[in-house]
Amino acid sequence: MTNMSVSNPKEKQKIIVIGGGFAGVQFVKNIDETLFDVLLIDKINHHQFQPLFYQVAASQLEPASISFPLRNIFKRKKNLQIRLAEVYGINTVDNEIDTSIGKFKYDCLVLAIGCTTNFFGNEQIKQHSFTLKTTNDAIAIRNHILQTFEDIISAEDHEKAALLNLTIVGAGPTGVELAGAFAEIKKNILPKDYPGINFTQFNINLIEGSAHTLNSMSDLAKQTSRQYLQEMGVNIITETFVKNYDGTTLELSNGARLHSKTVIWAAGVIGNKINGLPTAAIKPGNRLAVDRLNLINGTTNIYAIGDIALMETPKYPKGHPQLANVAINQAKNLAHNLKCLLNNAPTKDFEYTDLGSMATVGRNKAVVDLPFYNFKGYFAWLIWMFLHLMLILSVRNKLIIFINWVWAYFTKDTSLRLILNQPKKKE
């Protein structure tokens, strides 16, 4: 158990937090300012609202609507310093981290480093496909999709087949929401922008290794999401894996080959790595084994919270689901427990209450799984919108997103289709 007591009660404990996602932000928000000084380190200067990345990728929201500068979030935090840096490793003996801007000492270290896309060791797929884990990823997809339609107009006939295939790999919530969003703009928006393209030839393909879309949700969600997508014109290929992709052709496990210039990989995640931790604490998927206080196994003052943490409990023997709600609650619980440890007060083991899960497929189309009730349709869609708005950090951004959604609902259009690539200069 960590011993957080200090000889000088007036001297604040120094906590370093690595990562400004849901877990990192909530931890900093809830840590006692009178007892702890905090250094927050991230490679980017903003918190990213991942659940709505797909709307940026589909030109439905602007990136600024779901990106929140860390310095603005914490502008009233007097006990906080923020540094933009890459963390290379941890020295557990000297209680020190090594970063791209130098070394920093800590009394307590909190890892909220999250996950990245899992390509299952296939470097060629990694090289040629798009991911959706950052705001930059979402912008890159948006730029590419819009540029693709510009290219189709002047492409030779033999080039058009691959350009007219958009392929999403992985039919979890991200894949399903992406497919639904692209199906909607294919129907309502793109034909107006590109009247010279025959959009009946534009295919949206969703490939899934399991037998169902939304395979981790209820039977109602699985069946309904598939029905919604098929009605929207999405080609669904289940019980099939992508073996390889060279930038033009996908090789599938069923022997088929699919020509596509656009592949978005949403088929799984793997934890971000950090050097210096005990080998025994690193579990499959690079998740870090922690106890009920989120203390990493084999350490005395290093904690992991959020997606990177693997906490085995009677209710969750294989660890908790990698969801924002888990990350937020682990962060709050750890902030409370560090104060208790410093004051020699009883700590509280983390226990997660599953409030359910949800996914949206498109306008008036969503599925919601609550612990004792599952439902679909318009009401589920309203619930999805309301809860996501509540998670948005600033009142201003809540209002902007709400106005965007209302405008898109009634007009079936947005005006956000900007290609922001840097033009290539002639040699």
pTM over 0.95: no
Which residue, 324, 323, 282, is CA-closest to 302? 282
Which residue ranges in the chain fall short of pLDDT 50? 1-2, 5-8, 426-427
Check residue 283 and give its pLDDT: 95
pLDDT tens figures, 320-360: 999 999 999 999 999 999 999 999 999 999 999 888 899 99
Residue 70 near residue 27, CB atoms below 8 Å: no
Report angle CA 70, 384, 53 to the nearest 5 degrees: 45
Ordered by start, the domain boundaries in the chain are: 13-43+85-117+269-342, 123-267
For every residue of the chain, which 3-state class applies, written as one string? Answer: CCCCCCCCCCCCEEEEEECCCHHHHHHHHHCCCCCEEEEEEECCCEEECHHHHHHHHCCCCCHHHHEEEHHHHCCCCCCEEEEECCEEEEECCCCEEEECCEEEECCEEEECCCEEECCCCCHHHHHHCECCCCHHHHHHHHHHHHHHHHHHHHCCHHHHHHHCEEEEECCCHHHHHHHHHHHHHHHHCHHHHCCCCCHHHCEEEEECCCCCCCCCCCHHHHHHHHHHHHHCCCEEECCCCEEEECCCEEEECCCCEEECCEEEECCCEEECCCECCCHHHECHHHCEEECCCCEECCCCCEEECHHHEEECCCCCCCCCCCCHHHHHHHHHHHHHHHHHHHCCCCCCCCCCCCCCEEEEEECCEEEEEECCEEEECHHHHHHHHHHHHHHCCCHHHHHHHHHHHHHHHHHCCCCCCCCCCCCCCCC
Check residue 1 and give its pLDDT: 45
pLDDT tens figures, 212-233: 999 999 999 999 999 999 999 9
What is the assigned CATH class of domain 123-267? alpha beta
Check residue 5 and give its pLDDT: 43
pLDDT tens figures, 64-105: 899 999 999 999 999 999 999 999 999 999 999 999 999 999
Check residue 7 and give its pLDDT: 40
Check residue 424 and give its pLDDT: 56
Which option is the CATH number for 13-43+85-117+269-342: 2.40.50.60, 3.50.50.60, 3.90.1260.10, 2.120.10.30? 3.50.50.60
* Residue 188 neighbours by CB under 8 Å, 6+ apart: 412, 413
Check residue 384 and give its pLDDT: 93
